[in-house]
């Protein structure tokens, strides 16, 4: 617990850990924030600067590299992020979401709906600010500006006044070192997993797009172009697999009456698209809700596809440390033949399946597609022997990915547990030798 000591100094009771009260502006170069460039995004190109937008920043302060765009504007170079910059989303439901730039993710030009502060390393450990802006203290402060508004909004002047409690520099450095060591391992796991998955994708393209295993096989015409004659084009709904979703369990009225969501651990995990994207799972249902949702129980390994809003996001369901059930706005595929699992995952995430998904989504304000249309889409199925060979080749890759995802989940939980303890001074770091 922090107690007031002097006008700008606080002390943790029963300890000698002091905190100075300051603001984001006071620890930033120039004392103020800067708005990003007002320019339209264009398709990603290695020849142009990468454009960082609100939608590219995840809730945990990392980058979603899957949908990055570029910017083609003569003034773009004036808005390049520099190490120790931190940017904040200034409007919408993501108000306050932030990203700390250290140069490791490549070059970024920041967009107009982001506000940049350049942290002064002479005044504070810059990464301390990064972690502070992931804390509950920060989130609570941001929430106070969204109260009573349907659309959040915050400006540079307000952000500059964001309160910041600073321990002594040595304490800052130790806190940062602890959290950074966890973060480095998380990033390492993500890089290894991305590399393994891309290896599987390269193999898939070779075998099932270039047909490298069937160079001399007679070709036949299909909706996917010329294919070997022993390949089949079938409807998704004809495959031996379960295709289901949240609403398969009942009407919207019955779902509302029987499904209770909790932010604290309960009987089972409620798996949503946002959780799969972030890798953190913090929404739960009670036993009654779980049993009511019996038609969409998850066991791990299912292919999950977003069919509302973020249409076309594709994931393999992780195997968590408890019961799981499918959330709303996503559909689940569970093939009876396990040899289909990774083939279907790559097909829908990276190749022709992605184009087919985008082709069936509606043109309303909120893009979406239904199970019926999805089941009527076509898919290319290879002969059994080739499919089996592919599965046996890539399965060890995905097993490694799953193991590292489990480790990352544990590390993320550890980081999220330590963060508030470190920021409040509850956890004593004085004895730690860096």
Domain end marker among 166, 189, 220: 166
Asked whether the beta carbons of 323 and 284 are under 8 A apart, the reply is no
Q: Which residue has the higher pLDDT, 353 or 83?
A: 83
State whether 158 and 236 are in the same domain. no
160, 296: one domain: no
For residues 292 and 159, membership in a common domain is answered with: no
Establish if 100 belongs to a structural domain: yes
* CA–CA separation, 279 and 409 (whole Å): 7
Question: Are residues 157 and 257 located together in one domain of the fold?
Answer: no
Q: Based on the fold, state whether residues 28 and 149 are members of the same structural domain.
A: yes
In-domain check, residue 223: no
Model confidence band, residue 2 (pLDDT cutoffs 50, 70, 90): very low
- Residue 344: pLDDT over 80: yes
User: Which burial class, exposed, middle or buried, applies to 41 when counting CB atoms under 10 A from its CB (0-12, 13-18, 19+)?
Assistant: middle
Mean pLDDT, all residues of the chain: 90
- In a domain, residue 8? The reply is no
Model confidence at 42: pLDDT above 70: yes
Residue that is last in its domain, among 355, 381, 407: 381
Q: What is the pLDDT of residue 150?
A: 46
The one-character DSSP state at 47 is T
Q: Tell me, yes or no, whether 128 and 256 share the same domain.
A: no
Q: Read off the pTM.
A: 0.81
The share of the chain scoring above pLDDT 90, in percent, equals 72
Residues 38, 145 share a domain: yes
**pLDDT band for position 389 (cuts 50, 70, 90):** very high
pLDDT in tens, 365-379: 678 899 999 999 999
Write down which residue in 364, 381, 398 finishes a domain.
381
Give the domain range for residue 257: 232-381
Whether 243 and 377 map to the same domain: the answer is yes
Percent of the chain with pLDDT over 70: 93
CATH number of domain containing 358: 3.90.220.20
Q: How far is CA 232 from CA 71, 229, 346, 352, in A?
A: 42, 8, 17, 14
Q: Is 224 among the domain residues?
A: no
pLDDT band for 362, please (50, 70, 90 cuts).
Answer: confident
| Same domain membership, residue 237 and residue 159 | no
What's the structural domain count of the chain? 2
d(CA 162, CA 164): 6
């Amino acid at each position: 617990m922090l107690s007031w000591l002097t006008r700008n100094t606080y002390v943790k009771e029963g300890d000698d850990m002091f905190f100075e009260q300051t603001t984001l502006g006071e620890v930033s170069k120039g004392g103020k924030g800067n708005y990003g460039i007002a320019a339209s995004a264009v398709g990603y190109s290695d020849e142009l600067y990468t454009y960082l937008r609100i939608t590219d920043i995840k809730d945990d302060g990392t980058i979603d590299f899957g949908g990055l765009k570029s910017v083609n504007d003569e003034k773009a170079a004036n808005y390049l992020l520099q190490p120790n910059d931190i940017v904040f989303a200034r409007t919408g439901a993501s108000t306050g979401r932030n990203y700390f730039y250290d140069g490791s993710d490549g070059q970024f030009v920041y967009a107009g709906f982001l506000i940049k502060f350049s942290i002064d390393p002479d005044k504070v450990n810059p990464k301390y600010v990064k972690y502070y802006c992931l804390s509950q203290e920060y989130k609570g402060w941001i929430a106070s500006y969204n109260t009573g508004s349907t659309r959040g909004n915050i400006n540079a002047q307000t952000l500059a006044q964001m309160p910041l409690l600073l321990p002594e520099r040595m304490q800052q450095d130790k806190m940062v070192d602890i959290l950074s060591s966890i973060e480095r391992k998380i990033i390492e796991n993500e890089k290894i997993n991305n590399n393994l998955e891309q290896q599987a994708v390269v193999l898939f393209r070779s075998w099932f797009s270039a047909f490298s295993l069937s160079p001399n096989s007679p070709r036949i015409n299909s909706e996917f172009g010329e294919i070997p004659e022993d390949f089949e084009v079938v409807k998704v709904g004809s495959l031996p697999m379960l295709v289901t979703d949240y609403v398969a369990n009942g009407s919207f009225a019955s779902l509302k009456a029987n499904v209770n969501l909790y932010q604290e651990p309960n009987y089972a995990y409620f798996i949503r698209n946002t959780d799969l994207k972030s890798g953190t799972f913090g929404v739960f249902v009670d036993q009654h809700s779980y049993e009511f949702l019996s038609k969409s129980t998850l066991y791990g390994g299912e292919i999950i596809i977003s069919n509302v809003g973020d249409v076309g996001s594709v994931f393999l369901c992780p195997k968590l440390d408890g019961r799981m059930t499918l959330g709303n706005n996503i559909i689940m595929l569970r093939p009876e033949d396990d040899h289909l699992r990774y083939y279907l995952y790559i097909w829908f995430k990276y190749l022709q399946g992605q184009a087919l998904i985008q082709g069936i989504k509606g043109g309303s304000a909120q893009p979406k597609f239904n199970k019926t249309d999805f089941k009527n889409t076509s898919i290319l199925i290879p002969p059994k022997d080739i499919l089996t060979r592919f599965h046996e080749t890539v399965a060890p890759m995905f097993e490694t990915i799953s193991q590292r995802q489990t480790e990352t989940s544990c590390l993320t939980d550890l980081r999220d547990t330590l963060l508030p303890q470190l920021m409040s001074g509850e956890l004593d770091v004085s004895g730690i030798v860096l």
